[in-house]
Amino acid sequence: MERTRVTNAFQLGLTGGLGVLTAIVLGSTLAQTATIITYVGIALFVALGMDPIVRAMVRAKIPRMIAVAVVILGFLSAVALLFWAVIPTAVNEAVRLVNRVPDIVANLISQDLIASWDAQSGGAISSAANNALDYVSDTNNWPTLVGGVLEVGFGLLSGLVGFIIVVILSIYFMASLEGMKEYLAKLVAASKRERFKKLTDQVALSVGRWVMGQTSVALLHGLMLFIFLTIVGSQFSLLLSLVALVIAFIPLIGSATAGIIVVGVSFLSGSPYVIPALIYYLIYLQVEAYLISPRVMKKAVSIPASIVVIAALLGGTLMGVLGALVAIPVAASILLIVREVWMPLQQLR
């Protein structure tokens, strides 16, 4: 069969243009499906994180169907508690924090460093801050801000819909995890099927343990911060604790970032517990880094610390926060595959 050859500039340009158009269409398709892929990935990680609990119940002679039902019921109860008790209070605290924005801006401008910069710039900083506050406070400008408010509203609605989708997918994945493993095993040759099942089971267990370990560290972080802020009398204890809990899921930098946010908000809002908050985080970060995380993660995933750092950096660079979350269990899975598959093959050569 004779191949078609590009013989002139027109054919070359047409072929190149079709190639570029195809790449643009594929890139646009991937961009549009990125949100759905993210939902599926988060739901799968939630399901794998619940799987060690199901396995423990099965080892306790509880039928798997009952164990899965109990775990799903507990998961739905946690979600219901979140919407019933936690989120409304956090929203109220967020509203109080927003209402204090003028005081926060005034407090920030009055700081010595900012005041010196403002003096050097001829009052440009204070003037810009006051103009921004006057613009927002003027009711004549509110119609202009409606578009931004609507965008925020649509964003919140989209986030709520995404959260519901993740919950539904997580329940489905938890209920059908073993069936998914069996289906994947059928794609492998029968002679290697048992080994493949064993490997996928080990990978799923490794990922599930990491999710459980990271969740435990983040929950402990949020709980201890909530207790501390409640003791010192913070007006935003639940809001800051919830934000810190979510950020603490990010490996390596999550807890430190949460500390910066908590101390920063406390400082800007003029709270009297800024110094205690700073001391608390300086102590807690050391305890978490050297006592809590190593003990929890040693039981979750056994990978070298250097691999953890490299995986988190690569994942964060390629896929942002989600990539940083996924990178460590993926690295653990790759190391497991290398140890169980690649190394034995090399021994046979």
Q: What is the pLDDT of residue 150?
A: 47
Structural domains counted in the chain: 1
Three-state SS letters, 270-328: CCCCHHHHHHHHHHHHHHHHHHHHHHHHHHHCCCCHHHHHHHHHHHHHHHHHHHHHHHH
Q: Answer yes or no: pTM beyond 0.85.
A: no
Q: What is the pLDDT of residue 228?
A: 92
The tens place of each residue's pLDDT in the chain, 349 residues long, gives 455 555 556 566 666 666 667 767 666 666 567 677 777 878 888 888 888 888 888 888 888 888 888 888 888 888 888 778 777 777 787 777 767 666 666 666 555 545 565 566 665 555 655 555 555 555 555 445 444 444 545 556 676 777 788 888 888 888 888 888 888 888 878 877 888 888 888 778 777 888 888 888 889 999 999 999 999 888 888 888 988 988 888 777 788 888 998 888 887 777 778 888 899 999 998 888 888 877 776 666 666 666 666 766 677 666 666 666 667 777 777 776 777 667 776 666 6
Q: What is the CA radius of gyration of the chain?
A: 26
| CA–CA gap between residue 249 and residue 246 (Å, rounded) | 6
Tokens describing residue 19: 């190639």
* CB crowding 28-64: b at 16 or more within 10 Å, else e: eeeeeeeeeeebebbbbbbbbbbbbbbbebeeeeeee
CA-to-CA separations, 2 to 5, 18, 196, in angstroms, rounded: 9, 22, 43
| CA–CA gap between residue 162 and residue 39 (Å, rounded) | 7
Q: Where are the alpha helices (DSSP H) in 60-111?
A: 64-81, 87-99, 101-109
Half-sphere exposure of 276 (CA within 13 A, CB side): 11
> What single-letter amino acid sits at 205?
L
Tokens describing residue 277: 């908050």
Residue 25 lies in a domain: no
Residue 13 lies in a domain: no
Residue 222 lies in a domain: yes
Residue 74 lies in a domain: yes
Per the structure, the complete domain to which residue 81 belongs is given by 35-123+142-348
Residue 29 lies in a domain: no
Q: What is the pLDDT of residue 149?
A: 46
How many residues would you count in the chain?
349
Q: What is the pLDDT of residue 280?
A: 92
Helix (H, G, I), strand (E, B) or coil at 22: helix
| CA–CA gap between residue 38 and residue 31 (Å, rounded) | 11
Non-local CB neighbours of 50 within 8 Å, separated by 6+ positions: 71, 75, 170, 174, 208
DSSP 215-282: HHHHHHHHHHHHHHHHHHT-TTHHHHHHHHHHHTTSTTTHHHHHHHHHHHHHHHTT-TTHHHHHHHHH
- Cβ 208 vs Cβ 52: under 8 Å: yes
Residue 230 lies in a domain: yes
